[in-house]
Amino acid sequence: MAVLASLVFLFAPNPALAQSAPTIADGGVTNTFPDGMRFSITVESDSPIEEIKLRYKILPDGTAAIGRPEFDPAASVATSLELGGADLYLPPGTVIEYHWEATDADGDKGTSPPASFFYDDVRFQWTPLESNGVTVYYYSGSEGDAQAMLETAGTTLEAMSQLLGANVDFPVKVWIYESREDMRPALQPRSETYEESVTTLGTRVATDTVLMLGNDDLGTLKHELTHVVTAQAGESPFGTMPWWLDEGTAVYGQGDPGGFADAAEAAIRRGNVFSVRQITSGQGDPDKVNLAYGQSWSIVKYLNETYGPEKFAQLFAEIKGGKRIDDALEAVYGFDQDGLDNEWRAANGLPPRETPEPTEDAQPNATDGPSDPQDEPQSDDGGGTSTVVLIALAVGLVVLAGAVAAAGWAVARRL
């Protein structure tokens, strides 16, 4: 028994020699809006800490990411990590789920419990109103106006989800700012020229977040919330909507297209409209923006009224599944963008295009709106290879052939 007791003593674990995982103290998150947020951590271990990771994901998309703070290896480390600023735009209302991981020199790893942080605009005292998965935040104006915004938001999301066959299964946030100066720091940074020339009345800044200027523009609110639904209905890692479909549906969701419709009708009367392919991507010319929105709305309206909402929802589903826009249109309607272009033109009393647009990236050239291809002047060197260039190429080939022959003859003589 004495021998057994000695053996037990010899082989029993020594508490002084036992290794333990690093101990992590989550220091929480400091809101530094609009510059982002600062995560703090303290780690202790029996051996020097060699690696610290912040594992986080931004809801509702849940894209996982890793941040690594700077520190000097030691048995006790206190450090922090900045997230946001110029490298990562974080709109107000961003919710981040995160936890820390730390590994010491012995390979032992410690993990902190999961936590979350709600990033809001701390410059103002916000009042929230919530109903049916939508929260409206406001700091000025009347509660009645905010309530009207909340009700409009709920009905818009329901109506557009039904139209597009989409499911918005996450909370949606609407932040209402009183002035342009108040809202500017909450927007994604843009050039000074853009800021001086454009006033943003509303914008979808994240999957679940809309910013609004003022609490009485219900049309803009409907437009931006429709974008929340179109993204769920048609965007995926496999497919991307063309600009005309996304923005045309958003204007359609407004109910009243306003000046966009006026711009489209004026261009139709002149016979001076975009091709569908010309508005596959957005317009950079401010003089043509209203027409681009108005014509996109008119095309979306035509598809819904002519072929019905079921096929329209199917178009979004085909794009979300990975089809390009021409293939998706063929699968649902039996025509591509050129066919859609001519159908829409016929419905508006315009003749068919003589030559379909060759690419999706073509842009109009006219000052007050895009011209039909047959109306655009043709330059000597703008539509293909000129005769002079062809002659120059032929002469060059003859000279080159002669040089090769001469070199071959000289080599043959030396051999």
Residue 122 backbone dihedrals phi, psi, to 5 degrees: -80, 0
| pLDDT score of 19 more than 70 | no
| pLDDT score of 3 more than 80 | no
What are the contacts of 363-369 at 24+ separation with CB within 8 A? 363/278, 363/283, 364/274, 364/278, 364/288, 366/272, 367/287, 368/272, 368/287, 369/267, 369/270, 369/272, 369/273, 369/274, 369/288, 369/291
More confident residue, 103 or 363: 103
Backbone φ/ψ region at 154: left (φ over 0), alpha (ψ -120 to 50), beta: alpha
- In single-letter form, the type of residue at position 127 comes to T
CATH 3.40.30.160 fits 123-218, yes or no: yes
Give mean pLDDT, residues 130-158: 97
Give mean pLDDT, residues 190-201: 71
> pTM of whole model > 0.85?
no
Report whether 282 contacts 293 (CB < 8 A).
no
**Predicted confidence band of residue 198 (pLDDT cuts 50, 70, 90):** low
Query: Of the candidates 200, 176, 175, which has an alpha carbon nearest to the alpha carbon of residue 92?
Result: 175
Report percent pLDDT > 70 for the chain. 79
User: d(Cα 87, Cα 94) in Å, to the nearest integer?
Assistant: 16
Query: Of the candidates 282, 297, 150, 170, which has an alpha carbon nearest to the alpha carbon of residue 228?
Result: 170
pLDDT at 286: 80
| pLDDT score of 360 more than 50 | no
- Residue 168, SS3 per DSSP: coil
- Residue 7, SS3 per DSSP: helix
Write down how long the chain is: 415
For the segment 268-305, what is each residue's pLDDT rounded down to a tens digit? 999 999 999 999 998 777 889 999 999 999 999 999 99
- Residue 56, SS3 per DSSP: strand
- Indicate the range of 193-202, 225-234, 401-410 predicted with least confidence: 401-410
Q: What is the strand order of the sheet 76-83 is part of?
A: 23-31, 37-44, 76-83
pLDDT at 5: 52
| pLDDT score of 24 more than 70 | yes
Domains of the chain, residue spans = 23-119, 123-218, 235-375
**Predicted confidence band of residue 63 (pLDDT cuts 50, 70, 90):** confident
Give mean pLDDT, residues 224-252: 96
User: d(Cα 184, Cα 168) in Å, to the nearest integer?
Assistant: 27
CATH for 23-119 is 2.60.40.10
Give mean pLDDT, residues 383-398: 41
- Residue 206, SS3 per DSSP: strand
pLDDT at 190: 76
